[in-house]
Amino acid sequence: MNDRPKQAPDPSIVFNFLTEVGIISQLSTSLFERALPDGLTSSQFSVLNWFSRVDNEASPGRLAAAFQVTAGAMTNTLKKLEAKGLVTIEPDATSGRQKKVTRTIKGEETRNRAIGAAAPVFEEFALLFGETEIPQQLPVLQKMRKHLDERRYS
């Protein structure tokens, strides 16, 4: 068994790697947003998708923290989603001051339709990178995301 400590790569390699990830994020978000239905933005879709991934209700503050945006930015996104009938915002029965946000059935349907509308983009990407490269990289990316997510408040 090898007990030697791992040697960290040159910091410039890590910087270049994270720069590439950031550029990929910007380009993929733009491509995805062009496929979204009903004038949905990627920020609005991300909130709708959060409800599928994490929880079925949240306070605006919890959502702002999850997305690392200001309370004002999240309130703006939530008001637009509410105006489209995709979320409801109600007083939280357990706290007189807080609000509770839930995704509506229409919000869930819109999220699913958005994923379907972007399917051609996903299919093109999958064809280009094959059926093995993406699944091989996914665990590494998930591990990196988990690490960064755990450090978000440190």
Where do the domains of the chain lie, and which CATH numbers do they carry? 31-117 (1.10.10.10)
Tokens of 151: 């450090």
Task: Write out the chain's pLDDT in tens, 154 residues.
Answer: 555 557 777 889 989 999 999 999 999 899 889 989 888 999 999 999 999 999 999 999 999 999 999 999 999 999 999 999 999 999 988 877 899 999 999 999 999 999 999 898 888 888 888 778 888 888 999 999 899 888 877 6
Using CA atoms, how far residue 98 sits from 24, 47, 57, 93, 132, in Å, is: 36, 18, 13, 9, 46
Whether pTM exceeds 0.75: yes
Cα→Cα distances 32→3, 11, 28, 69, 118, Å: 44, 31, 6, 21, 6
